[in-house]
Amino acid sequence: MSEPGKPRGRSFPLSLDKLTPVARSVATRPSAAAPALTPARPTAPERKPNLLRPQRLLQQAALDRERQVRPAGLGLDSELVRARMVERLRAQGIRDEKVLAAMLAVPRHLFVDTALANQAYEDTALPIGLQQTISKPSVVARMLELMRGNRGDAMLQRVLEIGTGCGYQAAVLAHLARLVVSVERLKALHDKARELLAPWRADNVRLVYGDGMLGHPPNAPYDGIVAAAGGEAIQQAWLDQLAVGGRLVAPVVRGSTQVLVLVERNDRGFVRSEHEAVHFVPLKSGTT
């Protein structure tokens, strides 16, 4: 669903915005949906009127799907519930409008089990299987705000996420960066995230099965790195793969708890600061 006039290859970060209502509606019919989501690059005169029709059909499909999967208590339109979540994030002190907009756009309830979906917009971590959790919205917002720094409306170029989990934060990051590389060490979760993200045609998200403690050198350097699992220390590989001007945010174990650590790289080296206490699942080495 590219904007008319924009070549699709470079369009993605807007596609999550544009696809929000479509969400999982296309999951059951990817091949049928694909042409409508990816209109062939038309010549200029053809673009205007006829691109709108398939979008309307998809929106209807999305509404139908939303009705099917809407869990009890989520209300008529999950976007309204999400808007309330965003207002709470604002009230909690999140100031980065671009992060708030990204979180408004991504339907978190589609990333958790249907049985948990009515809790999806509460500020709580939820289980996603294999003893892992989807991070709570306020922590996702805070980490992404810290990682972006004062960039205003600008997109980051390349971002590395350690710990894809179910793919929720990767979907949020897709609104904030031109390329998101997300590494997961548990094959089952990597596959699950791939499945959950597939309907979005999130072609600026690259999911990697591997040990994120090593980062992901092929796409380095990154101007943002965010870890969703708490380690004993910031990994040297992450520092090596952080671009000059880049910012890294990771939970680091501090006694019996963890703190959010921000590392900013400038042309003279690294500046480290510590922020609030958090509680993430542990960072582990190797793959399973």
Minimum distance from residue 204 beta carbon to ligand SAH (Å): 16
Cα–Cα distance for residue pair 193/183, rounded to 1 Å: 11
Burial (Cβ within 10 Å: 0-12, 13-18, ≥19) of residue 198: middle
Minimum distance from residue 122 beta carbon to ligand SAH (Å): 14
Residue from 94, 228, 242, 252 that binds ligand SAH (CB under 6 A)? 228
Residues 130-149 that bind ligand SAH (CB under 6 A): 132-135
Helix 137-148 to helix 78-91 angle (10° resolution) is 60
Pick from 194, 221, 192: which is nearest to 207 by CA? 194
Minimum distance from residue 184 beta carbon to ligand SAH (Å): 5
Which one, 15 or 132, has the nearer CB to ligand SAH? 132
Provide the pairing of β-strand 126-129 with 132-134: antiparallel
Q: Which two tokens stand for residue 61?
A: 């499909």
Minimum distance from residue 146 beta carbon to ligand SAH (Å): 15
Minimum distance from residue 162 beta carbon to ligand SAH (Å): 5
Q: Which residues contact 233 (CB under 8 A, 6 or more apart)?
A: 252
Quick count: other Cβ atoms within 10 Å of Cβ 18?
Answer: 16
Using CB under 6 A, count the residues that bind ligand SAH.
24
Of the candidate spans 4-12, 67-75, 149-157, 180-188, the one that interacts with ligand SAH by CB under 6 A turns out to be: 180-188
Residue from 100, 183, 202, 234 that binds ligand SAH (CB under 6 A)? 183
25 is catalytic: no
Burial pattern 172-196, b for ≥16 Cβ within 10 A else e, equals: bbbbbbebbbbbbbbeebbebbeeb
Q: Which of 135, 138, 182, 285 is catalytic?
A: 135
Q: Does 251 bind ligand SAH (CB under 6 A)?
A: no
What letter would DSSP give residue 265?
E
Which one, 47 or 284, has the nearer CB to ligand SAH? 284
Which spans of this chain sit near ligand SAH (rule: CB under 6 A)? 132-135, 162-165, 168-169, 183-186, 189, 211-213, 228-229, 281, 283-285
Mind telling me the catalytic residues? 135
